[in-house]
Copies of this chain bind each other. A is one copy, B any other.
């Protein structure tokens, strides 16, 4: 906290973090320059250093922030698609498609996630853990809770909800993530839909309730 904050107007700080998110996502940590971030934020470089101690602090700060925001976005998708089940297969597929889009679409937080994954060897262990906890791990937990509820209603047969959530994510999301290199290379919408549908097929073979076939 003490290192990241300081004096200054909050609006400036917001402009800086938004610019940093964009530039780090576009260029990656090493290539991104503080000059470029300052320019994109419309402030002077001095002002950036007034708000953030150094480049690394700025990067880790926006990484954590962005991680939490993406988790909230995904939580909304979980609620929207898996809150009230109409057609389980369809709802799961829709969720898979929307999540892939939310994480991997170009302009968004996904680009920063790519930068973080690229820099992971240079990120302090405790910060990395905090990022995981605010991001991927939290989303997995949200999904696991939902699966547990669905199992309670007899729609799924699930022993270990955390495992089911992870395997659902692997089958419906990681194939797209890998193919698009976490959003760096575009994947056509129809391809995303196809992969999601096939992933849900496989998932339901593992965890589907026999009644629903």
Contacts and interface: CB of A to CB of B under 8 A. Distances in A.
A136 B202 CA distance: 22
A199 to B, nearest CB: 8
A152 to B, nearest CB: 21
Query: Among A118, A181, A185, A206, which residue has the most Cβ atoms of chain B within 10 A?
Result: A118
Interface in A173-213: 174-175, 178, 181, 184-185, 198-199, 202, 205-206
A114 B182 CA distance: 13
A31 B29 CA distance: 10
A85 interface: no
A174 B170 contact: yes
A68 interface: no
A80 interface: no
Contact of A202 (B31, B117, B121, B206): B206
Contact of A178 (B174, B175, B198): B174
Helix, strand, loop or mixed for chain A's interface?
helix
Given A28-B118, A118-B118, A202-B206, A175 B181 contact: no
Nearest to A31: B30
Contacts of A96: none
Interface in A72-126: 114, 117-118, 120-121
Contacts of A171: 167, 170-171
Interface in A142-185: 163, 166-167, 170-171, 174-175, 178, 181, 184-185
- 6 smallest beta-carbon distances between A and B, as pairs: A118-B118, A30-B30, A120-B181, A121-B184, A170-B170, A205-B206
Interface of A: 28, 30-31, 114, 117-118, 120-121, 128, 136, 163, 166-167, 170-171, 174-175, 178, 181, 184-185, 198-199, 202, 205-206
10 contacts: A28-B30, A30-B30, A120-B184, A167-B171, A167-B199, A170-B170, A170-B174, A174-B178, A205-B205, A205-B206
